[in-house]
């Protein structure tokens, strides 16, 4: 078997006495969509924050494309091909939509001071190439027409899509989406399902946190269920749907007299 | 109205506390060999008559904005120039400024040249501080220390070395200042907002105490520079003209440098860090490196301004590193518009020139018979006294700006771009 794109072993994060994430093992193969679900407070976002380097895990390892990246800072993980979006949208609100995406291309730019200050032809060319690529990413999420607008003025659903375009612009191999369909109406959710499928078609793997069961069941290859930070089930959507432990975590135990 | 209630209550409170004291004075009581409080209505009236020009200006500004809302004259004037021609026109205007400013060296009086050289030095300072405070969103309160650092690098260098003219000191101060900014940045990286401000303030004060007390810095006496090291007459220009031209050229170079970086991936990375540090890091911006670069560059620019000051005045003292100077430069940056380089220039010019001209205005009025006849004498006296109230006025202007125009006079250039492409 080939090395998985992302592998975690025994990943654990505690805040004081609270064990937010406990011993999570997860494998994400290239070009697959894996979902992490669980009730509120199950530790899904904490798990994501460990993966993307915002938190340093207390125990366990994270391997990205065969390389141990445990405890690396976010910008280095990004360099290794991992990008993410945030549950509470974190754009650069005062910048234009285009600039939001341009910032994400920083790691692909070779910057030396003299060509930058003198705006040498090579530098200008790379700037233009950058812009053209950024516009392509914006077109991909259907925001091309808003490129010159201030990001903070976009509608909520557009801001979510801009975050995805920005993450894609880092040219990742694995994209972490933290509740991309939160607060969306059925029509927008259908658009999001289509968008995530198109992201997979580009050859990316997607790791998804979502509460929207229809979305999760429609596109996931694999589902991991967390409850109180502990993985309680792992498998294909159909198996998860039937799993008694999952039903118990979501709905509580059936009262038997 | 409900929105303003807390501010109005606060102002009323301050007024209620201070108002009675305007009408009182202390007078010596020789019988009991002590001081006694006396009723002095003239003092209170003097206060209001001194501030009358400020009230007049406030009234004019209010009239301007009211008439603009009523008749939209700003939009009407702007509509004369088609939108797509505006960026090109702005570029030509910027280039035309350079010969215009330099030609000033030939028709301004020595006094004015010295004044505008100081303005130029403050513009360079504001431009540098704008990198950290405006673009990267790092509040630095000990900025004057880097200014003093640059001046002392020059002063001590020319003292120790047989030959160390100002133009050699400029690159030295730039590099050493950048290094000092880098070193200050290192311990500050984990801090944000108010904490960062306090730590930089602490470092600034520590540096000031150092140069106040070390024998090699001349302690409180400062250092008088050799005439061979500072600006000298040459090329048919006198000393003031040389200082003016060199400061202007340095300012243009600084604007060019800062604006090129501002409009590059590095500038975008700085703004991204200001807007959302976590998001910036997770899209691959090396936050630590970029913050250190911002600290270094802003310190390096301040150090160069310090060398220019030393070369202009021929005297360097601990007064350069005082906290009040840091605050003044910060006020310039905020007034002009955080994150906007041209705003920083405008803010520096306004905050430096307005008090200076207020001091000169009464004598100008008295010399001109028409103005003297048109303006009542109490107003002329008041204009002269107004300079004494400048910190009161700065404070009032800052509060009003925060309420009505928190983005500063020029604001963010990005918003305007959006208006053009709508």
Question: What is the spatial distance between Cα A165 and Cα B33, in angstroms, rounded to a whole number?
Answer: 80
Is the predicted pLDDT of residue B207 greater than 80, yes or no? yes
ipTM over 0.90: no
| Closest chain A residue to B268, measured at CA | A103
**Pairing relationship of beta strands B34-39 and B223-224 according to DSSP bridges:** unpaired
Helix, strand, or coil (residue A109) = coil
A128: chain B residues, CB-CB within 8 Å: none
B177 vs B143: CA distance, rounded Å: 11
| Minimal CA separation from B153 to chain A, in Å | 25
Measured between CA atoms, the residue of chain A closest to residue B266 is A106
CA pair distance B90, B101, nearest whole angstrom: 17
Residue, of B179 and A107, whose pLDDT is higher: B179
Residue B341 contacts residue B412 (beta carbons within 8 Å): no
pLDDT over 60 at B413, yes or no: no
Closest Cα in chain A to B417: A148
Q: Are A75 and B284 in contact (CB < 8 Å)?
A: yes
Of A222-231, B47-56, B88-97, where does mean pLDDT reach its minimum?
Answer: B47-56
pLDDT digits (tens, 9 = 90+) for B103-160: 877 887 888 888 889 999 999 999 999 999 888 888 888 899 999 999 999 888 888 8
Chain A residues with beta carbon closer than 8 angstroms to that of B256 = 117
- How much of chain A, in percent, has pLDDT values that exceed 70? 96
| Residue B91 CB neighbours (<10 A) | 10
Dist. CA B348–CA B148, nearest whole Å: 18
Q: Which fold has domain A6-81+172-251?
A: Rossmann fold (3.40.50)
Q: What pLDDT does residue B4 have?
A: 66
Structure tokens at B202: 């602490």
Quick: pLDDT tens for A137-171. Answer: 898 888 888 888 888 888 888 888 899 999 999 88
Question: Does B87 or B247 have the greater pLDDT score?
Answer: B247
Asked if A46 contacts A57 with a C-beta cutoff of 8 angstroms, the reply is no
**pLDDT tens readout for residues A70-124:** 888 888 888 888 888 888 888 888 888 888 999 988 877 777 777 777 788 888 8
CB–CB contact A92 B266 (8 Å): no
Mean pLDDT: which of B30-34, B50-54, B105-109, B130-134 is highest?
B130-134
Res. B54: pLDDT tops 80: no
Q: Using CB atoms, which residue from B260, B269, B421 is nearest to A103? A: B269
CB < 8 Å to B418, chain A: 96, 148-150, 153
Q: What's the rounded Cα separation, in Å, for the pair B126 and B334?
A: 10
Cβ-defined contact of A148 to B421 (cutoff 8 Å): yes
Residue B199: which pLDDT band, with cuts at 50, 70 and 90?
Answer: confident
- pLDDT at residue B74 tops 80: no
Candidate from A90, A92, A148 with C-beta closest to B417: A148
What are the extents of the domains in chain B?
Answer: 26-68, 84-420
Q: So where are chain A's domains? A: 6-81+172-251
Rounded to an integer, what distance in angstroms lies between the CA atom of residue A125 and that of residue B127? 28
- For residue A75, the cross-strand partners are none
Cβ pair B267, A87 in contact under 8 A: no
Highest mean pLDDT (candidates A175-179, A203-207, B123-127): B123-127
Q: Compute how many other C-beta atoms are within 10 angstroms of the C-beta atom of residue A214.
A: 13
Please answer yes or no on whether B261 and A119 come within 8 Å at the CB atom: no
Residue A181 has pLDDT above 80, yes or no: yes
Query: Under a CB-based contact definition with an 8 Å cutoff, are residues B86 and B296 in contact?
Result: no
Q: What is the pLDDT of residue B258?
A: 92
Tokens 């390389």 correspond to: A67
In this complex, do B284 and A106 lie within 8 Å of one another by their Cβ atoms?
yes
Mean pLDDT computed over B248-277:
90
Chain A environment of B87 (Cβ under 8 Å): none
Contact assignment for B265 to A53 by CB distance below 8 Å: no
pLDDT of residue B412: 63
> Quick one: which H or E segment has residue B99?
helix B86-107
Q: Which residues in chain B are closer than 8 Å to A175, comparing Cβ atoms?
A: none
In chain B, count H helices and then E strands: 18, 4
Buried b (16+ CB within 10 A) or exposed e, B3-41: eeeeeeeeeeeeeeeeeeebeeeeeeeeeeeeeeeeeee
pLDDT of residue B422: 39
Taking the CA of residue A233 and the nearest CA in chain B, the distance in Å comes to 29
Give the pLDDT confidence score for residue B402 in this predicted structure: 75
Structure tokens at A127: 């700037």
The percentage of residues in chain A with a pLDDT greater than 90, rounded to a whole number, is: 2
Distance between CA A135 and CA A105 in Å, rounded?
12
Backbone angles phi, psi at B300, to 5 degrees: -65, -40
Q: Does the beta carbon of A149 lie under 8 angstroms from any beta carbon of chain B?
A: yes
Q: Which residues contact A249 (CB under 8 A, 6 or more apart)?
A: A38, A39, A42, A225, A227, A232
What percent of chain B lies above the pLDDT cut of 70? Answer: 95
User: Taking CB atoms and an 8 Å cutoff, what residues of chain B touch A117?
Assistant: 256-257, 260-261
B135/chain A closest Cα distance in angstroms = 11
State yes or no: pLDDT of A246 exceeds 90: no
B256, B271, B284 ranked by CB distance to A95: nearest: B271
Give the percent of chain B with pLDDT over 90: 14
Interface test with A, best of B91, B263, B265 (most A CBs within 10 A): B265
CA–CA separation, A116 vs A126, rounded Å?
A: 11
Chain A neighbors of B412, CB-CB under 8 A: 94
What Rg, from alpha-carbon coordinates, does chain B have? 24
Residue B96: burial class (beta carbons within 10 Å; 0-12, 13-18, 19+):
exposed
> What is the per-residue pLDDT for B420?
45
Residues of B within 8 A of A75 (CB-CB) are 281-282, 284-287
Rounded to 5 degrees, φ, ψ at A25 are -110, 130
> Under a CB-based contact definition with an 8 Å cutoff, are residues A68 and A61 in contact?
yes
* pLDDT of res. B421: 45
Chain B residues whose CB is inside 8 A of the A86 CB are: 278-279
Rounded to an integer, what is the distance from CA B305 to the centroid of its chain? 13
Do B284 and A78 count as a contact with CB atoms less than 8 A apart?
yes
Q: Is A99 on the interface with B (CB under 8 A)?
A: yes
Chain A residues 102-131 within an 8 A CB cutoff of chain B = 102-107, 109, 111, 116-117, 119, 127, 130
Task: State the Cα–Cα distance between residues B200 and B289, nearest whole angstrom.
Answer: 18
Residues of A in contact with B286 (CB under 8 A): 75, 106
Backbone angles phi, psi at B189, to 5 degrees: -65, -30
The whole-angstrom distance between A83's CA and the closest CA on chain B is 7
User: Which of A116-120, B82-86, B348-352 bottoms out in mean pLDDT, i.e. has the lowest?
Assistant: B82-86
């Amino acid at each position: 078997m080939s090395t998985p794109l992302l592998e975690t072993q025994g990943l654990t994060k505690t805040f004081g006495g609270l064990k937010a994430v406990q011993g999570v093992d997860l494998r994400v193969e290239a070009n697959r969509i894996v979902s992490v679900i669980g009730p509120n407070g199950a530790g899904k976002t904490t798990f994501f924050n460990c993966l993307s380097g915002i938190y340093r895990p207390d125990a366990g390892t994270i391997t990205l494309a065969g390389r141990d990246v445990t405890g690396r800072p976010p910008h280095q993980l990004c360099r290794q091909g991992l990008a993410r979006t945030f549950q509470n949208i974190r754009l650069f609100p005062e910048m234009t939509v285009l600039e939001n995406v341009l910032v994400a291309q920083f790691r692909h730019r070779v910057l030396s001071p003299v060509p930058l200050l003198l705006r040498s032809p090579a530098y200008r060319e790379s700037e233009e190439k950058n812009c053209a690529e950024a516009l392509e990413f914006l077109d991909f999420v259907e925001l091309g027409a808003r490129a010159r607008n201030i990001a903070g003025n976009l509608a909520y659903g557009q801001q979510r899509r801009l975050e995805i375009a920005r993450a894609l612009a880092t040219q990742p191999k694995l994209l972490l989406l933290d509740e991309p369909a939160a607060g969306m109406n059925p029509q927008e959710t259908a658009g999001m399902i289509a968008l995530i499928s198109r992201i997979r078609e580009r050859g990316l793997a997607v790791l998804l946190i979502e509460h929207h069961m229809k979305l999760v069941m429609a596109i996931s290859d694999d589902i991991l269920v967390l409850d109180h930070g502990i993985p309680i089930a792992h498998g294909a959507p159909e198996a998860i749907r039937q799993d008694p432990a999952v039903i118990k975590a979501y709905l509580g135990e059936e009262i038997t007299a | 109205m409900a929105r303003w209630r807390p501010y109005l209550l606060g102002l009323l409170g301050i007024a209620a506390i201070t108002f009675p004291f305007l009408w009182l004075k202390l007078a010596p009581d020789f019988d009991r060999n002590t001081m006694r409080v006396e009723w002095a209505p003239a003092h209170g009236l003097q206060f209001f008559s001194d501030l009358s020009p400020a009230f007049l200006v406030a009234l004019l500004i209010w009239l301007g904005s009211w008439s603009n809302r009523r008749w939209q004259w700003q939009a009407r004037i702007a509509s004369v120039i088609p939108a797509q021609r505006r960026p090109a026109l702005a570029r030509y205007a910027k280039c035309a400024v350079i010969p215009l400013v330099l030609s000033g060296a030939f028709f301004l009086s020595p006094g004015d040249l010295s004044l505008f050289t100081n303005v130029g030095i403050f513009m360079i300072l504001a431009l540098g501080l704008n990198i950290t405070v405006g673009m990267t969103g790092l509040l630095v309160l000990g900025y004057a220390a880097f200014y003093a650092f640059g001046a002392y690098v020059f002063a001590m260098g020319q003292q120790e070395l047989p030959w160390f003219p100002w133009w050699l000191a400029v690159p030295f101060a730039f590099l050493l200042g950048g290094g000092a900014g880098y070193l200050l940045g290192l311990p500050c990286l984990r801090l944000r907002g108010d904490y960062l401000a306090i730590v930089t303030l602490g470092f600034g004060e520590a540096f000031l105490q150092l140069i106040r007390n070390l024998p090699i810095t001349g302690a409180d006496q400062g250092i008088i520079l050799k005439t061979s090291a500072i600006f000298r007459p040459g090329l048919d220009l006198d000393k003031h003209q040389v200082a003016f031209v060199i400061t202007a050229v340095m300012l243009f170079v600084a604007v060019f440098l800062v604006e090129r970086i501002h409009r590059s991936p590095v500038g975008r990375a700085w703004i991204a860090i200001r807007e959302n540090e976590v998001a910036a890091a997770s899209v691959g911006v090396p936050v630590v490196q970029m913050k250190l670069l911002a600290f270094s560059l802003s310190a390096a620019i301040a150090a160069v301004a310090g060398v220019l000051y030393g070369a202009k005045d021929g005297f360097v003292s601990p007064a350069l590193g005082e906290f009040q100077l840091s605050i003044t430069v910060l006020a310039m940056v905020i007034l002009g518009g955080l994150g906007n380089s041209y705003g920083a220039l405008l803010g520096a010019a306004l905050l430096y020139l307005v008090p200076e001209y207020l001091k000169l205005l009464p004598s100008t009025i008295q010399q001109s018979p028409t103005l003297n006849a048109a303006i009542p004498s109490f107003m002329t006296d008041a204009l002269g006294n107004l300079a004494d109230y400048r910190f009161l006025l700065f404070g009032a202007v800052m509060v009003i700006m925060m309420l009505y125009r928190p983005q500063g006079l020029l604001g963010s250039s990005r918003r305007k771009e959006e208006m053009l492409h709508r």
